[in-house]
Amino acid sequence: MYVFELKDVPRRAGEAVLDWDRGVTYPLREKKKIGLPLRKDTEFFSLAGGRQFIVRPSVTERSCWFGGTDEEPFLVEMDVKVAQLYIDSAGDEEEFYRTLVPNSVLAMATENDVMYKRQGDIFASRFSGEKNAERNLARLLKKEVKQGEMTILGTRHVGKGLGFVHDENVFFRGVLVAPDHVPLNLSDGLYLLGQTKYITHPAQAD
């Protein structure tokens, strides 16, 4: 929906304060305040009962921004196809959010009939509950298991435990920590980790 079609522009998205300004070119977050461009061709879609949103600054912009409040206010630049995915979902938010889950994580969760877990932009699906599963799998794949603190997929998320990387997959057992998020305990098994799809700058994601 275009901003000019809204009777009133939303001023909050959960804990996030939305600051609409004609002088803003691209969305920008500073703590709890999110600056948004106020233009006739700005597209805005409200999600999660108004706690989250997708905004596209103009019809020619090749990116859109996904933001609002998760545990804390957040804002992330994404490929413009994300806005189209929401439009294509015809308002089915559950289906829309599922399209953002990494393919490998979603496939494993479906195969094992378990629900994936999430910490911000990092998703996790349990691979095995067996003791020493990470060492057995690493040996099979000829990988070395790392122990201690490790950066997950080049993001702000840090794993404290055991893990290794195979191709673009991260296998991990332990606890994930990240700014603005509560720790995610993944100590009950070996998990496959992946990052939200379509993020433009993965290392800078909230």
Handedness of CA 47, 170, 78, 206 (dihedral sign): positive
In the predicted model, is pLDDT for residue 156 greater than 70?
yes
Question: Is the predicted pLDDT of residue 32 greater than 70, yes or no?
Answer: yes
Q: What is the pTM of this model?
A: 0.91
What is the average per-residue pLDDT within 44-53? 95
pLDDT reported for residue 110: 93
The two tokens of residue 61 are 């912009």
Kindly tell me the burial class for residue 183, based on how many C-beta atoms sit within 10 Å of its own C-beta (0-12, 13-18, 19 or more). Answer: exposed
